[in-house]
């Protein structure tokens, strides 16, 4: 079994590596040696020819694509680069996986939705992205479904954070220690995703009979932690756990404009992934505590 994981230096890529290297949960018929982790230095996704060359020399059974262009605001200025990584690369990986008869797991985002629904989004709801980043992510999903109608799986995640890289939790911890008060958005609702939980779910899926043994039509699944919160509530909980005395002032998206517009409510319904792959989903507070415990140990 050869399993390729792209984006090895990103939040999700590092979270998968953490589990694979330290855990026995990867399954009886899999070993850490089955996994090949690649970063930009091993496989430059901005070059179509470098991708072709890499896969001409390397064959896989499963490809897990954790690489992406994830700078939501900067994508407004760099739409072409974002499109290359989030759309055209995904299309190319889909064709390669089909040719190699590999299965492919690709990660997308809750931001494919416009956030105007008052109900949790289902996988069957119609996307309507409202910024450049999300348009490229949706284009990637659609291209993958076209070039790889069988054996690919798209997981839409939301508000990803981890002990790695830059994310909301780490930014709040830093700013909260430096300042007496902070303004945080209250009118964008959703659910955070602890990258370790998503990594766990992916590793569960690739062990699952329904993924491994059966040819399936390409499917989309939603995944995040349980619960519905605003960024404001998220920040308050981070400070509460860390006992940081910093006032969190609620502000609206209108009071805090950003280059890229963000959707108002992107809570996703996760019943499908729970039912099909028997995935257990933790509440956002317990996962936040788990991440912050690790961050504390690292200090
Ligand atoms: N972050 C979020 O809040 C969020 C929310 C919903 C969904 N998602 C999705 O979840 C997935 C994982 O996100 P993440 O937060 O783990 O992302 P991340 O931390 O930004 O990691 C993305 C990785 O992709 C790599 N990459 C970018 N351009 C590349 C290129 N040209 N060649 C090779 N590698 C390249 C980056 O490499 P370098 O380290 O060298 O730059 C980085 O390690 C993505 O598909 C993202 O769209 C993220």
By alpha-carbon position, which residue is closest to atom 18 of ligand 1?
10
Query: What are the tens digits of pLDDT across the range 102-161?
Result: 999 999 999 999 999 999 999 999 999 999 999 999 999 999 999 999 999 999 999 999
Q: What confidence score (pLDDT) does residue 29 get?
A: 65
Looking at the DSSP assignment, which residues form a beta bridge with residue 199?
none
Contacts (Cβ under 8 Å, ≥6 apart) of 96: 51, 52, 55, 63, 102
pLDDT tier at 272, thresholds 50, 70, 90: very high
Cα–ligand 1 centroid distance for 67 (angstroms) = 4
Residue that the structure tokens 């430059």 belong to: 44
pLDDT tier at 171, thresholds 50, 70, 90: very high
Of ligand 1's atoms, which has the minimum distance to the CA of residue 71? 20
Q: What confidence score (pLDDT) does residue 26 get?
A: 65
* Helical packing angle, 168-178 and 231-242, nearest 10°: 60
**HSE-CB of 34 using CA atoms within 13 angstroms:** 18
Testing ligand 1's pocket by substitution, the residue of 4, 49, 70 carrying the most ligand atoms inside 8 A of its CB is 70
d(CA 148, CA 94): 6
Phi, psi angles (nearest 5°) of residue 168: -60, -45
Given a cut of 80, whether residue 42 has pLDDT beyond it is: yes
Q: Output the ligand 1 site: residues, CB below 6 A.
A: 7, 9-13, 39-40, 44-46, 66-70, 85, 107, 109, 137, 157-160, 165
Given a cut of 80, whether residue 23 has pLDDT beyond it is: no
Q: What confidence score (pLDDT) does residue 76 get?
A: 98
CA 242 to the chain's CA centroid: 25
> In the chain, what percentage of residues exceed pLDDT 70?
98
Mean pLDDT of 178-189: 96
Q: What confidence score (pLDDT) does residue 173 get?
A: 96
Contact in structure between 174 and 23 (CB atoms under 8 Å): no
Residue that the structure tokens 């996704």 belong to: 45
- The least confident of 13-27, 199-213, 239-253 is 13-27
Contact in structure between 244 and 176 (CB atoms under 8 Å): yes
Looking at the DSSP assignment, which residues form a beta bridge with residue 273?
none
């Amino acid at each position: 079994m050869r399993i390729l994981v792209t984006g090895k230096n990103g939040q999700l890529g590092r979270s998968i590596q953490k589990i694979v290297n330290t855990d026995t949960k990867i399954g009886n018929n899999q070993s850490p040696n089955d996994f090949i982790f690649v970063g930009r230095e091993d496989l430059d996704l901005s070059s179509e020819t470098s991708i072709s060359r890499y896969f001409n020399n390397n064959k896989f059974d499963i490809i897990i694509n954790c690489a992406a262009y994830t700078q939501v605001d900067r994508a407004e200025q760099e739409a072409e680069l974002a499109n290359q990584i989030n759309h055209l690369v995904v299309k190319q990986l889909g064709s390669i996986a089909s040719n190699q008869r590999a299965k492919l797991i690709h990660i997308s985002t809750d931001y494919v939705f416009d956030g105007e629904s008052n109900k949790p989004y289902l996988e069957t709801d119609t996307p309507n992205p409202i910024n450049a980043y999300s348009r490229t992510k949706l284009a990637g999903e659609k291209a993958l479904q076209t070039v790889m109608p069988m054996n690919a799986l798209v997981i839409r995640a939301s508000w990803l954070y981890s002990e790695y890289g830059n994310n909301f939790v780490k930014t709040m911890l830093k700013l909260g220690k430096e300042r007496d008060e902070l303004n945080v958005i209250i009118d964008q609702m959703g659910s955070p995703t602890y990258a370790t939980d998503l990594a766990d779910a992916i590793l569960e899926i690739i062990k699952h009979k329904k993924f491994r043994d059966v040819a399936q039509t390409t499917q989309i699944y939603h995944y995040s932690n349980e619960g519905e919160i605003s960024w404001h509530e998220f920040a308050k909980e981070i400070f509460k756990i860390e006992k940081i005395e910093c006032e969190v002032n609620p502000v609206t998206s209108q009071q805090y404009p950003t280059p890229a517009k963000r959707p108002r409510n992107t809570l996703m319904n996760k019943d499908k992934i729970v039912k099909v792959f028997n995935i257990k989903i933790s509440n956002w507070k317990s996962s936040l505590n788990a991440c912050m415990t690790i961050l504390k140990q690292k200090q």
